Amino acid sequence: MFVSEALRFDTELQGYSTQPSPHIVVGITHPQTCLTLTGRLRALREAGFRVTLVSSPGELLGRTAAREGVDAIAIPMQRGIAPVADIVSLARLWWLLLRLRPDMTEFSTPKAGLLGTLAAMFCGVPRRVYMLRGLKLETCTGFKRLILLAAERLASACAHVVLCNSHSLRAEALALGVAPAAKLLLLGEGSSNGVDVERFSPGPSDVRDRLGLPRGVPVLGFVGRLTRDKGLPELIEAFDTILKAEQEAHLLLVGWFDTSEDALSASLRTRIESHPHIHCTGFVADTAPYYRAMDVMVLPSWREGFPNVVLEAAATGIPVVTTISTGSRDSVVPEVTGLLIPPGYPEAISEAVLKLLRNPERRRRMGQAARAWVLENFANECVLGLITALYKSMLEPSAQGNEARSPRALAPAQR
């Protein structure tokens, strides 16, 4: 199998070595993460990079590569701990990088981050970035937490730069000893992509009409994977309390039932799907109209890196209720663009949501402040400009050798 895989790679890679542009390989574990790469790959390409996207096989891999104008190669990787499969994936990544000989790699998400940075180090890739999008270990305990922490430390040790998504994520990584302070970088105010503020903007939406909802009823929204770590069990319990006070309220769940390790129980999924006031959309390619249908967006997550969905809601002029968890607490200005609550408390969710539902003027002010805040700090051209500037600086002759290992010299925007 491995020989046939190698021959397939040789066929796919014909002609790569004749192109003069600096080559970056961007790797993720699962194609679902392609949703967080919108604009990023294109920005790298337009900055002069030749970009190859690597992830496990899936429709989103090819669709994203075609949309962003980059190459794509599928290498199966399992998200959970799977020693035998992981060794095979590591060998395939090593062979791929050996053939591509990229100038730079950027791997993210736990499994691709570990296997990709290891393979890149084995192949001697001269510039290696580990993009830290969150810490899965935060919601784990015992031996599994120790394994995940060791994996994060190993991935970081194999990288020259660990690029963090948010202030609190960098602080947590530093506290856990994931990497030394000099290696942990934060560009600007955080976020890996920023927000397309034209696409995500206030305006009309036909979503309520399509769902058969009257214009005046309160609509709460959630966008993302429907999992335990995202706080769905607490949100559903809180919604029952909210319904007692606001009997016409509806909950719009824009996302899919993920089958990962933190998947919802079968009983909770059945409860959600059978609830007359809860609407599940499944995967949605264009979420912008769904934000416009919401009065309040709720993300009761237990862990994040920097939640893009909060910035998208904010850009649309929607106040957000989210948690003080890592990453989430960086995504709102408390009492100005949204409300922060502790994770794991349904009563905190219902209390915060009801405060906003009962005060339309406060919601309006928060929504306006939220969009202004995003325009100032998270417009995608600003965030992506910082990323491409960093990566281009890492390619400069002055960044070779020892200086290539000095993130402080490469990222003046570090916080």
pLDDT tens string 18-36 = 457 999 999 999 998 888 8
Query: Residue 25 phi/psi, 5° resolution?
Result: -100, 125
pLDDT above 90: residue 396 = no
> Do residues 382 and 193 touch, judged by C-beta distance below 8 A?
no
Closest CA to 369 of 335, 392, 344: 335
The token duo for 20 is 């003069």
Give 174's contacts (C-beta < 8 A, 6+ positions apart). Answer: 181, 184
pLDDT above 70: residue 1 = no
In CATH terms, is domain 2-194+380-410 a member of 3.40.50.2000?
Answer: yes
pLDDT grade, residue 400 (50/70/90)? low
- How far is 157 from 170, CA to CA, in rounded Å? 15
Scan for tokens 């190459």, then name that residue. Answer: 71
pLDDT tens string 365-382 = 999 999 999 999 999 999
Look at residue 17 in the predicted model and tell me its pLDDT. Answer: 43
- What is the spatial order of strands in the sheet that 71-74 belongs to? 71-74, 50-55, 23-27, 104-108, 128-132, 161-164, 184-186
Look at residue 399 in the predicted model and tell me its pLDDT. Answer: 60
* Averaged pLDDT for residues 347-357: 98
Q: Tell me which of 131-145, 291-305, 387-401 is least confident.
A: 387-401
Look at residue 36 in the predicted model and tell me its pLDDT. Answer: 87
* Structural domain spans, the chain: 2-194+380-410, 207-377
Q: What percent of the chain has pLDDT over 70?
A: 91
Look at residue 410 in the predicted model and tell me its pLDDT. Answer: 42
Coil vs helix vs strand at 221? strand
* Averaged pLDDT for residues 252-264: 91
pLDDT grade, residue 6 (50/70/90)? very low
pLDDT tens string 166-211 = 999 999 999 999 999 999 999 999 998 899 999 999 999 999 999 9
* Averaged pLDDT for residues 407-413: 42
Closest CA to 134 of 159, 108, 112, 114: 108
Look at residue 408 in the predicted model and tell me its pLDDT. Answer: 40
* Averaged pLDDT for residues 138-155: 94
* Averaged pLDDT for residues 44-66: 95
Look at residue 406 in the predicted model and tell me its pLDDT. Answer: 41
pLDDT grade, residue 215 (50/70/90)? confident
Name the E strands within 71-126. Answer: 71-74, 104-108
pLDDT tens string 227-239 = 999 999 999 999 9
Rg of the chain's alpha carbons, rounded to an integer?
Answer: 22
pLDDT above 60: residue 350 = yes
The superfamily CATH assigns to domain 207-377 is Glycogen Phosphorylase B; (3.40.50.2000)
- How far is 375 from 215, CA to CA, in rounded Å? 28
Look at residue 8 in the predicted model and tell me its pLDDT. Answer: 52
The answer to whether the 2-194+380-410 and 207-377 domains have the same CATH topology is yes
pLDDT above 50: residue 156 = yes
The per-residue pLDDT of the chain, averaged, comes to: 91
pLDDT above 50: residue 2 = no
pLDDT tens string 93-114 = 999 999 999 999 999 999 999 9
pLDDT above 70: residue 10 = no
